[in-house]
Amino acid sequence: MTAKRSVVLGCGSYLPQKVLTNAELAARIDTSDEWIVQRTGIRERHIAAEGEFTSDLALHAARAALDHAGLDAQAIDLIVLATSTPDNTFPATAVAVQNGLGINHGAAFDLQAVCSGFVFALATADNFLRAGAYKRALVIGAETFSRILDWNDRGTCVLFGDGAGAVVLEAQDQPGKPSDRGVLTTHLRSDGRHKAKLFVDGGPSTTQTVGHLRMEGREVFKHAVGMITDVIVDAFNATGTTAEDIDWFIPHQANKRIIDASAHKLHIAPQKVVLTVDQHGNTSAASIPLALAVAVKDGRVKKGDLVLFEAMGGGFTWGSALVRW
């Protein structure tokens, strides 16, 4: 019996040109390279230029993913864009990308699950494709978090960066076995009791301002590893796989300590973990496809590899996806 799967045809990413190092931050606020590296593993992050918007970053990443897939943009009939930093309150940043690609058929919409956005968007697109509603999807994570940071709050402004990443998915009939290519399983969770632990203190309905990111860092840290590992165990159970079967673990890049602790708890070997947080910082919904693009480009991720994604973020939201490349 065959099964419809969302097979990844290509991926791409984009980082703004400007790099902001820890040393530059230390010259502006009371922090140090040593403190940031020790607590987070972050050494530098990219910052969007004035006049460079989330949709610009997303469009670059989408074009790179289409190039990598060897596809014309007209082949795409669904765009799901995960972001917490849209160009405008509305319309969706996804329609700006759709327009930039010259597509005027199919559907394009944004999805908001903060740092879990890419996994939520991947799961959403996968369900549409497997249901037969669309044929080929662009799944994009794109952020300009630099625009919602309080640059005087050293507890948060050192953590985040800007960037975008994208994958192209195509609905294909596969043999219906664990060795199938494509998205094998996705697991999404949310718990709104934690909504005040990581939030932006503004918005159209509350303050009519954009607001700034606020976070109880310790509280986030306390919950992160348990939530991440729970939802990965769900992915293992759903597919009959174990940590041994994983070729590459590509987690949301928030903090090296959270990543290391999660991999350790799950017995995922350190050499299977893709780490880019040192160079990108936390780019929220963009971090997984940015890391994926690095590991594909340098030849680590190869056809047939089993790739595990996970993310956790504001809400709280968290999720996992298991994909055969």
Point out which residues bind ligand ACO (CB under 6 A).
31, 35-36, 39-40, 115, 154-155, 158-159, 198, 215, 217-218, 220-221, 224, 252, 254-255, 282, 312-313
The nearer residue to ligand ACO, 169 or 250, going by C-beta atoms, is 250
Number of CB atoms found within 10 A of residue 146's CB: 20
Catalytic one of 60, 252, 255, 280: 252
| Minimum distance of ligand ACO from residue 246's CB (angstroms) | 20
Q: Which single residue is written with the structure tokens 């968290």? A: 318
| Minimum distance of ligand ACO from residue 27's CB (angstroms) | 13
Catalytic one of 22, 115, 187, 194: 115
Active site residue 104: no
Active site residue 282: yes
Q: What type of residue sits at position 271?
A: Q
Task: Respond yes or no on whether the N-terminal peptide bond of residue 316 is cis (omega within 30° of 0).
Answer: yes
The residues, any chain, with a CB within 8 Å of residue 233's CB and separated by 6 or more, are: 266
The nearer residue to ligand ACO, 68 or 194, going by C-beta atoms, is 194
Q: Give the integer Cα–Cα distance in Å for 38 and 190.
A: 29
Structure tokens at 13: 């990413």
The nearer residue to ligand ACO, 124 or 255, going by C-beta atoms, is 255
Residue nearest to ligand ACO (CB): 217
| Minimum distance of ligand ACO from residue 262's CB (angstroms) | 10
End-to-end, the C-alpha distance of the chain in Å comes to 21
Q: 276: which DSSP letter?
A: -
The nearer residue to ligand ACO, 91 or 217, going by C-beta atoms, is 217
Question: Where in 107-256 does DSSP place strands (E)?
Answer: 107-111, 136-144, 162-174, 182-190, 198-200, 213-215, 248-251
Active site residue 194: no
Structure tokens at 49: 């230029």
| Minimum distance of ligand ACO from residue 259's CB (angstroms) | 10
Which residues are known catalytic residues?
115, 252, 282
